[in-house]
Amino acid sequence: MDTLISGLAILAHWDVMVALLIGSIGGVVIGALPGVGPAIAIAILLPATFSFEPIVGLTLLLGIYGSSMYGGAIPAILINTPGTPVNALTTYDGYPMTKRGEGHRAVSLAYTASFFGGVFSILCLIVLSPLLAWIAPHFGSREIFLAAFLGILLVVVAHRGQTFAAGMLAFLGIFLNTVGLEPVKYTKRYTFDQSWLASGFDLIVVVLGLFAISQAFLLLIERDHTPEKAAVSGSMMSGFKELLGIKRIATVSSSLGVLMGMIPGVGEFTAQFLSYTYAQKSSKTPELFGKGSPEGLVASEAANNAVPAAAMIPLLALGIPGEALTAMMLTVFYVHNVIPGPQLFADQLDFVMALYMALILLNVIVLVFLLFSTNLLLRIMQIPTRFLGMMILTLSFIGVYSLRNSATDCVIAMGFGVFGLILKRLNLPIVPIILGIVLGGIMEVKLRTAMAAVKTPLDFVSRPIAAILFVMLLLVLILHLRTLIREHKAKHGPDPIGPDHEHSSQQG
């Protein structure tokens, strides 16, 4: 109880509340703009947050992260264009509902399902806090190294059909982290006597280049267009009543969102797929899915909004980000010398509780805002895409230059922007590069620390948690290889001309 009161006291400061308000409403607006998304907004805002108190900076970024999916549902439902990539599944049932004149009902359901999923996951997070505080101190250097390695492996295998490309890009991220002065003896690595490489590649510069500048280039080179108008009318409160009738699907979908969010590298897409599949199989009207099923819409929105709070679990407990947005937030912790991990729960539990309560408040703020401003957001969606691209490009370069007042950083960011554009045009993933940089740095430091106490290879997995993580690594590899073999057999099938058939044909 004392920790809760202390957390409320941290949250009650005016600057924290202003940051939460700006982040929550700004996240909805950003989510509603197709082609922008939370990753770009967070990347642009990162340099500015370094001058704030850690709770203020994190609250601002959490507001954008947690609220963007609410806004992304609006264009997904009304104009069949997902505002953020994770709202793509929302179009399956949201837009068919709009086409048959039920756009107001679909939007209201999306808001309430998102609110239910968000609050459900935060309550799970609060309940799990004592368990996390107990487990986290048992993670030493070996365990954190294996957990980070597992995170990278899960990120790679999560990209079905692009596993090799995702693996290569993750290793590129790990390599980029090694450029510059190494962290123990400060010897130069891969600098080739170039002074501008001595400090390595700054994560924020890379993030702004790969996410924001590449998206700006993409918007600028594509044909300019503005989404069509699709206003809705009526009270937005009706979704609450309808959600009560399908609360089982909302609860199961939120639970799957929490589970998938806790696992590094898995995230919203897997949670949505599992939730949608469950909803369809357990529905009395499975034939409506993909044609305007309220159950499908609730499953999608409840699952993806349950993930952000759950994704904070590996970040806060172990200092291991599960995806690109939490990797960006990790830099805010490090800049202010607040190190996520076991000590954070032991020494600053009130800070952790303040973040949890900020997540609950942002869901309330967003829901209240959306109940009265959906049509206003539809007007904001009319901004031409090339204007958006130019605005993103300008803000990105301002952010990069403000980091170290370095024109070299701007050139590096532009180089990564072009590389990011190439990846996007080839439909290749960018997230593995960022996680490779962040998790690669964690793995290097923890491996060097762990090796001081390791005499034989078995010593590395001699402790219970390390052994469990190692077994999980092996299971992920085995299951992935099994899946690849099955897919290969399904694609090619058995050889239609067997040896017996060939022999008989030769005799004939």
Q: State the Rg of the chain over Cα.
A: 24
Angle at which helices 349-380 and 54-78 cross, to 10°: 40
pLDDT > 50? residue 426: yes
Q: Give the bridge partners for 469, in sequence order.
A: none
pLDDT > 50? residue 414: yes
- What pLDDT shows up at residue 504? 47
Residue 175 or residue 429, greater confidence: 175
- Return the top range by mean pLDDT from 228-237, 262-271, 343-352, 358-367: 358-367
Output the pTM of the full model.
0.79
Angle, vertex CA 98, rays to CA 97 and CA 101, nearest 5? 95
224-228 long-range contacts (CB < 8 A, ≥24 apart) are 224/384, 224/385, 224/386, 225/384, 225/385, 226/381, 226/382, 226/383, 226/384, 226/385, 227/34, 227/75, 227/79, 227/81, 227/381, 227/382, 228/79
Mean pLDDT of 462-470: 87
Concatenated DSSP letters of 64-80: HHHHHHHHHHHHHHHSS
Mean pLDDT of 220-242: 66
* Phi/psi at 65 (5° precision): -60, -45
Mean pLDDT of 258-273: 76
d(C-alpha 120, C-alpha 252), whole Å: 11
User: What mean pLDDT is reported for the chain?
Assistant: 81
- Helix (H/G/I), strand (E/B), else coil: 180: strand
Structure-token match 């700054």, residue found: 202
| Tokens matching residue 289 | 């899915």
pLDDT > 50? residue 505: no
- What pLDDT shows up at residue 259? 85
Q: For 385-405, how does the pLDDT look when each residue is reduced to its tens digit (9 = 90+)? A: 788 888 888 888 888 888 788
d(C-alpha 320, C-alpha 155), whole Å: 13
Mean pLDDT of 221-244: 66
The H or E element containing residue 240 is helix 238-245
Q: Are 159 and 432 in contact, with CB atoms under 8 Å apart?
A: yes
pLDDT band at 169; cut points 50, 70, 90: very high
- What pLDDT shows up at residue 263? 77
Mean pLDDT of 11-26: 87
Mean pLDDT of 362-383: 79
Q: First vs last Cα of the chain: how many Å apart? A: 88
Q: Give the bridge partners for 180, in sequence order.
A: 189
Q: Left (φ > 0), alpha (ψ -120 to 50) or beta: where does 493 sit?
A: left
Mean pLDDT of 263-271: 71
d(C-alpha 145, C-alpha 241), whole Å: 47
Mean pLDDT of 435-454: 84
